[in-house]
């Protein structure tokens, strides 16, 4: 808890530490099967972010039995189970309650070798930063609720959120990296600020290099930002400096609260291109080097 990391870690022996995490939320897409997949990918992600291997999962379900039918319930659980199987994780149980508001997620248990544990505190001056998924899921989900998003974009965003961070995690572990976190509710800048704080460094980001869904700028300009994104901006704005040339809506995108976002990886500069190439070869085509780690300065993050 002290290091504000992605998951709880408990050392069992010199060789093995347990990683435990729990995540659940209300639906973000209309398609129940897709929602189940996204919720599972999101819950598994914290184990991947810490360099671990998830082993078991348990379902957590709050379901309004009186208003929603069992078909929806089955679709959600099927989405979750399919994603869990894809991750080669075993579902060992769960718990459900009757609730007015639908919520679904998982608790996940994984393992890691204690020396290979990746936290928020390992970033070193000179490191490069790689982000593996495009930003904008919070803004686009808000636009979906307003009925403004094309089917094609809904499909692309859903697919991105349902994509496991497993391959990215395995590739970064193969190459060896210094720190990692996944981008979720605090947005890119919120999670990056925590990483900078815990590592006692500052980060320099180039906003033009940050991958975003192509249509997200339009929606952000229309002010379609979720409440969480504004809270992120409010909380961190004093410790983050934007170049004057960066428009307000781009700042909103950088603070946008993500669901099942990508990994933010810190690694030595001579390894950055190698990892980026391997990520792209593995189909993680939106991955990009978005900045670097510098000596701790006045601001946690400076963005050009």
* Stretch 66-95: interaction string toward Co ion, x if CB under 5 A: -----------------------------x
Q: Please give the residues from 124 up to 183 whose contact with Co ion meets the rule CB under 5 A.
A: 182
By the rule CB under 5 A, 256 interacts with Co ion: no
d(CA 111, CA 195): 22
Give Cα separations from 71 to 125, 149, 155, 159, 207 (angstroms).
52, 26, 22, 22, 43
23 makes contact with Co ion (CB under 5 A)? yes
Site pattern 26..65 for Co ion (x: CB under 5 A): --------------------x-------------------
**5 binds Co ion, rule: CB under 5 A:** no
Residue 91-130 contact track with Co ion, rule CB under 5 A, x = bound: ----x-----------------------------------
Q: Which is nearer to Co ion, 8 or 126 (CB)?
A: 8
The pair of structure tokens assigned to 47 is 């184990």
How many whole angstroms separate alpha carbon 217 and alpha carbon 230?
16
| Rounded CA separation 273/276 (Å) | 5
DSSP 8-state secondary structure symbol assigned to residue 214: T
- Cα distance between residue 172 and residue 161, in whole Å: 20
| Chain center to CA of 112 | 19
Choose one: 4-12, 137-145, 225-233, 242-250; the region binding Co ion (CB under 5 A): 4-12
Q: Which residues of the chain form contacts with Co ion (CB under 5 A)?
A: 6, 23, 46, 95, 182
């Amino acid at each position: 808890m002290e290091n504000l990391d992605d998951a709880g870690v408990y050392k069992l022996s010199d060789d093995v530490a347990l990683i435990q995490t729990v995540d659940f939320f209300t639906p973000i897409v209309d398609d129940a099967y897709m929602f189940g997949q996204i919720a599972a990918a999101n819950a598994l992600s914290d184990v991947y972010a810490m360099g671990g291997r998830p082993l078991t999962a348990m379902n957590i379900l709050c379901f309004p039995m009186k208003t929603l039918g069992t078909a929806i319930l089955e679709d959600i659980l099927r989405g979750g189970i399919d994603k869990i199987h894809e991750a080669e994780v075993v579902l060992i149980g769960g718990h459900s309650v009757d609730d007015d508001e639908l919520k679904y997620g998982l608790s996940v248990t994984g393992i890691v070798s204690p020396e290979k544990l990746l936290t928020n505190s390992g970033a070193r001056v000179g490191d490069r930063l790689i982000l593996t998924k495009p930003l904008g899921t919070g803004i686009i989900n808000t636009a979906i609720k307003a009925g403004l998003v094309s089917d094609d974009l809904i499909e692309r965003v859903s697919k991105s959120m349902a994509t496991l961070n497993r391959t990215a995690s395995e590739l970064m572990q193969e190459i060896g990296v210094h720190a990692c976190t996944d981008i979720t509710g605090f947005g890119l800048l919120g999670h990056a600020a925590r990483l900078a704080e815990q590592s006692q460094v500052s980060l320099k980001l180039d906003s033009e290099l940050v991958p975003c869904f192509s249509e997200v700028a339009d929606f952000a300009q229309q002010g379609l930002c979720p409440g969480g994104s504004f809270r992120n901006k409010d909380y961190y704005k004093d410790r983050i400096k934007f170049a004057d040339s960066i428009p307000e809506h781009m700042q909103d995108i950088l603070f946008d609260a993500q669901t099942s976002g990508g990994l933010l990886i810190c690694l030595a500069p001579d390894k950055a291109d190698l990892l980026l190439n391997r990520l792209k070869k593995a189909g993680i085509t939106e991955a990009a080097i978005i900045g670097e780690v510098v000596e701790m300065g006045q601001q946690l993050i400076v963005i050009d």
